[in-house]
Structure 1
Amino acid sequence: MKKGLILISTLLFLSCNEKNGNDEQPINSNDSLNYYSKILSDDKKSYQEKVIASKKAVELSKTKKNSQAKREALVNVITFQVINQDYYRFDFTYKTLLQDAITANDSINIANAYRYRASYLKNNTVYDSAFYYYGESEKIYEIFSDELNLGNTLLNKSVVQFYSNDFLRADVTGVRAYNILKNLDDNYKIYLILTVLGNINNELSEYDKALEYHKEALKIIEKYDIDNSQHPKATVINNIGHTYKLQKNYKQAVVYFNLALQNKKLLTDTPDLYVLLLDNLAYCKFKIKDYAGLPGMFQESLKISDSLQLYSNSVYTLNHLSEFYAEKNDLENARKSSERAIKLAQITKLPVDILSALKQSSLVFPSDEARKYSQDYIRINDSLQQKERKSQEKFARIQLETDEIIQEKEGLVEKNRTLLYVFVVSFILVALLFIVRAQRARTRELLYKQAQQKANEDIFNLMMSQQSIIDESRNKEKKRLAQDLHDGVLGRMFGLRLNLDSLNNNNDEETVKRRFELLNELKTIEQDIREISHDLNREKQVLINNFVSIVHNLLEEQQSSYQANLKYTIDNSVNWDKVNNTVKINMYRILQEGLQNINKYANAKNISIEIKGDSENLYLKIKDDGIGFDVNRKSKGIGMQNMISRTHDCQGIIDISSKKDTGTLIAITIPLVNKQIIVEEA
């Protein structure tokens, strides 16, 4: 999660022109492209003057022939547009610059055009295309050994990979950028890349390394007195505190957050940083049970965020506030905070906001609502994982295509060498490429499986803990009712019966008759209450647990979403409390993958699902009457491989039988290896 820290928005350039409200027209004594280009390069000119000059320069460039002066003017225009995100006719400006540079064989401006295009796409969150264009400019800068632009390009490329959650490659790219920039006399850029590398390593859970980068960035700022209106020193101190918070070293985190908040200008200059620091400080104080100033600090942070419409910060604070109230057993305010966090997350539409709000809501709401939030969390989290996987595959494909282009160029350079030498070199390159691709593929698959397994475990454990809380509350209530009936009502009834027995001293016929009627009625009531008491204490084992409910939901969704006729049976005699959570998760994912394969490829009319078990094993059968497939083929799809892998993880056996046009049967047997004796209450 990237909340709680500040990732410096790395720019192509180091200085930005401040926007102000000056609406005056620029003094125009010479209506020429060169004149407006100079205005864009003049730091003394106002922002509004530069906006007008940028538009004038774009219009004048239509009438000018291709020349070095024109290309330099377009560079100034596009630089201003990217820095200030004022994209007046950006596509025309970019294409004109690129086409003129290609025509003039101006390689540096070709690279500049690609880089400006990449930055525009990055600012608009089109990360895959931005990655491609940064790669194109990178190749040209490398050829011309342009260290300054190459280092800056790699810096931005690393940020793109970071925001696409491709953290391993972002780290590799960031280290390359650092190794280049540290040799240049530009301390602000060194500070930027150190900050980026620190945040990347936080996401990789390499917290010690992240602290090294952030503290080195702090040294750079203090040594060279780097400061501006964005308060980079406070930013770095916040990132150090956030890293300690991730390590659960909350006391040390409090020290750094307090240190950053000593800067009294933060609230006016960078209110988003101020509210983040305030919330982080409040949360760490809460974690170490230092409740001084709480929940006031949370509420102050929330008030400022709301007033500035920093809704993402508001979601972050509301989740922490809900957690605080839940710790204090104030469930009403905890739920109110969670409900508002969900509403604001729907406004921001950021997945990280939505997931965090859903997760917190599942912890504070009653069981039925909590189950709905948990299911929404699972659905959105699965969707995000698929999108991230596609994005990473796309980045890998772009990088691979880039590598292949480089190899082709190297082959052209080597064409005058002997045939044997070319053959040997080509063979080695191909072999190395094959090994690298195979290794990267295995690494990606392993990381994906580990991440998915951990997420599945967390989600399922969360749901099971909710069910455990419900069951515990139910049992306590039943015992209380049983004790009240037995010790209170029955005691009083018994005393009444003894008093009635004393009426035996009256021996007249009417008294004796009435006495026996009352005694018989009291005995009947006493017996009824006793039966109710015992019945309340009896465990109801026939209740279907949370795992079975989730499976039912999956199968009902299949029935409502697809035309195939689905029949399924689930053995209610299986005691799922004795089944290991990992086995449940893998069975659910196998069933989910099996249904997806049928829906995508089988073209089946009928589907049969059977889940049963005995004292030794669990059994899962998935059968369809679709087109079938050849089970003997060497290569299997990733879905089938995942089903086999999950079965093996459970020490189970999977049998796949299929013939073309006769359907498919998947039979899975999983042993109950982690058995537990559950003592029934009398």
Structure 2
Amino acid sequence: MKNTLILYFLLLISISVKGQNAQDIINGLKKDLKTNPDAKKTAIIYSDLTWYYSKIDIDSALHYGGKAAAESRKLNDSTLMAQVYSDIGAVYFIKGDFVNSKSNYLSAYKIRKLRKDVKGLAKINNNLANIYEKTHQYKQAMIAFLEALQYFESVKDEKNVSIIKGNIGLIHLKLKNYPKALNYISDVIQFQEKNDFKEELCVSCLNLGNVYLHMQDTINALKFYDKSIKACTAVGNKKGISSGFNNIASIKSEQKKSKAALALYQKSKQVREELHSDLDKANFDLNLALEFTTNKKYNEAKKLLLSTKPIFEQTNHSEKLQKNYKSLITVYSYLNKPDSVNYYLDKLALLDEQLLVSKAEKQTAELETKYQTEKKERLLQKSKAEIAIRELEIRKKETQFLILGLISLALLVIIYLVYRQQKLKNKQQEQEFELKSAIAKIETQNKLQEQRLDISRDLHDNIGSQLTFIISSVDNIKYAFDIQNAKLDSKLTSISNFAKSTIIELRDTIWAMNKSEITFEDLQSRIHNFMEKAQEVKEDIYFNFEVDASLKNIKFTSVEGMNLYRTIQEAINNSIKYAHPKNISISIKPIDNTISISIADDGIGFEMEQVELGNGIHNMRKRITDNGGVLEIISAKATGTKISIQLKKQ
């Protein structure tokens, strides 16, 4: 036991180091505030202070959370506002104020929903589920956890998947389904140990220790509480450290090792008081009071019991309140205060009566449901009897017409055979017609394909070769004669370049004509070729092109594919020509039932109201409209230009 206490003392020293690291970061942030940063930077610093103070001082965290919320509202920055609300919700959760925690998380949820931030919504669902679990709303907690789990599994975020599965295991623990809880949390811990996720191990090992404790396996419970304390110490999680000490203390108390239990309760209390979490502090004080009662320190026990009683009454923790009243009855009995004993006997009786009424109401509702179910079953049985009587009457009538029915049946069989023969004949004729139509359609398509190939060959062999001849002739003129006239030299260069770009466009047209259908994968390859040529000319521009893997095989007609290719090509050319960007990004991804295409640059941009759009933009809109889509241009001088295209999925 002495060695154990020494270990815990060393852990407390480590905790103070972790707290010091957080304090160093906080000091740095406060120093940044003194440099009079702009409004956006100030709001971000307040938000960071909220998060780091939550590790060491809840009251300070809430103070800076309020400042961050006020600044983000002034800026009308919804992204920052959602993050601040989430941070404040986390601070209130640590404090044990689940009402304010839920309110702030819901505020963040509304903003993220408007922004269609699916990942942010999944994280908030997980946080709300933790609140539901703490307030014993296990059904709502499970629904919220499963919604979050569905998202994180879809994006293969294994870390968040493990966190949520651990939380689901915790619900099974609360529902006393210990085998399921053990399976869930054990699997999660294996994953977290493999990836050295100490912050997550801090919580998971504590929960697994609780599972083993409920299964009366104190050896494994102590083993995982120790693991939890080490992991929590490594990341500076004071709440987890305090909980670990408290749970080990409860085991020592059950083992009648009162001195060790009291020492551990005091260590737990010391760490927890630094966080200013009212509900958790009340829970620890209650355990400490029970230990004081066992050691006949009644005045110390009374002081703790009276301080925790209002908190349990406000938060409606009936189970804790029962323990509190019972302990007060015991304490006042030993202190020889019969009036106080009677007072808390009445309070306990009233609380027990309320719980009995609540239980009775629940049982009454169950009985009512059972009665209604039985009533429906009786009505069903009565209905079945009436149906049986009607069936008997029908059988009598059927017997009377049996002979007539047999004759009718024979006639029907003959009619059916004739009808079936005619139907088979008609079906055979339909199949022959469909086959002929299919053959004709294939022949027509083959002819069209042959015509396309002939046209593309003619374009390539005739116009292509003529354009090549023009380029060669212009280049020969330039190199054969010493042209001193700069205008003439520039004109010849312009003709040569125009002919070269015409050949490139001609090749693109031939490529489209040679295909009956075009996929995004085809377009990606073509656009990559185009960007490589552009990169050779504009080496200072970085190009990025991404197509979601699920869209690569979506097909377009050759006309639709060419329209889309020309639009993207025109957008890139416009960006290179007018915007002078450093980066150009093309992104193609699915959103709901649409395909979203984005061509964005970080160039100089322009004010939409002050610029008259040219024929190039009108042609782009026309091409996308012909494809059944919508094209939108978003530009500002400070942010560059983005062309957004929305197409319906085929």
Q: Place the TM-score, normalised by the shorter chain, in its bin.
A: 0.3 to 0.5
Greater share of helix: 2
Q: Which has the larger radius of gyration?
A: 2
The TM-score normalised by the length of structure 1 is: 0.39
